[in-house]
């Protein structure tokens, strides 16, 4: 049976085995998917041994940049993201590295939420790997503008310069912004500590702005609560992004795109327990 894993450290909390088990059952695919705790100092050795027989892998923190370096070939979106979250063993034994995170985000927004990003003003909070992975897929939707806001502005400026050829992207500090935007995406880790990035509520146009937090939890995140309190039309967490990036990886491996709706419903149900 074809074998797949998700590499990480720690990894016991991962929902990926359940997600891919449900995808496989739904699509009639025969595969085995499990977690694999990789040593912090030897991801390459661990992955090399696995791929002697394994077919593919998801990669989570802290190994996405290691996977980028391990891959023999990269998709364009992985190259631009500078990180790999999906590895596929090709027929010749070489490894293809992809990054499905940004595609998962865009699909959650455009398909699950039914929200068109074309012509929209998008504000990205943060300038780390999550933002870098999201920029190419977001810019491919032809927004009116993408602003990267970060506490350290020069990090945002480097990303804006790197992706400038793909569309209208600029950099900002958190406290420079006042005018309403159409979409605010929180890609910082602030919600993990119950905090909200230091932005003003005037960025939300009541009844119009969609707010999205890449984090998720049993209860609405701090950012989602803040967004709702200030009149956001829609306030979403990142659970759908988790399901959609997994579906993108499954499609890459198996050539079949699973229906994420029942899987997302089950994830939400389990999260509420």
Q: How far is CA 268 from the centre of its chain?
A: 17
Choosing from 64, 89, 120, 218, which is the catalytic residue? 64
Cα separations (Å) of 139 from 2, 19, 203? 35, 28, 20
What whole-number distance in Å separates Cα of residue 171 and Cα of residue 174?
Answer: 10
Helix 153-162 crosses helix 129-139 at what angle (to 10 degrees)?
40
Any catalytic annotation for residue 64?
yes
Q: How many CA atoms lie within 13 A of 84 on its CB side?
A: 25
Alpha helices in 140-221 (DSSP H): 153-162
DSSP 8-state code for residue 239: H
Rg (CA), the chain: 18
Active site residues: 64
């Amino acid at each position: 049976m074809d074998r797949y894993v998700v590499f990480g450290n720690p990894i016991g909390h991962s929902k990926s085995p359940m997600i891919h088990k449900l995808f496989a059952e739904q699509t009639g695919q025969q595969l085995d998917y499990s977690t694999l705790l990789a040593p912090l100092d030897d991801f390459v050795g661990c992955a090399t041994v696995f791929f002697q027989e394994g077919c593919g892998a998801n990669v989570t923190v802290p190994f996405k940049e290691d996977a980028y370096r391990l891959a023999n070939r990269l998709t364009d979106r992985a190259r631009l993201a500078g990180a790999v979250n999906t590895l596929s063993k090709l027929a010749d034994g070489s490894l293809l590295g992809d990054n499905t995170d940004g595609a998962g985000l865009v699909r959650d927004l455009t398909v699950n939420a039914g929200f068109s990003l074309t012509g929209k003003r998008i504000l990205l909070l943060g300038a780390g790997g999550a933002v870098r992975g999201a920029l190419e897929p977001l810019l491919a939707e032809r927004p009116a503008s993408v602003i990267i806001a970060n506490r350290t502005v020069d990090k945002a400026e480097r990303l804006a310069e790197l992706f400038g050829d793909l569309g209208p992207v600029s950099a900002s500090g958190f406290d420079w912004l006042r005018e309403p935007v159409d979409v605010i995406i929180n890609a910082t880790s602030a919600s993990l500590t119950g905090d909200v990035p230091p932005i003003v509520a005037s960025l939300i146009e009541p009844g119009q702005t969609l707010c999205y937090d890449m984090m998720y939890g049993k209860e609405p995140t701090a950012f989602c609560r803040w967004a709702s309190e200030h009149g956001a039309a829609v306030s979403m967490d990142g659970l759908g992004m988790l399901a959609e990036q997994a579906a993108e990886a499954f499609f890459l491996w198996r050539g079949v795109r699973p229906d994420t709706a029942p899987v997302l419903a089950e994830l939400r149900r389990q999260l509420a327990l």
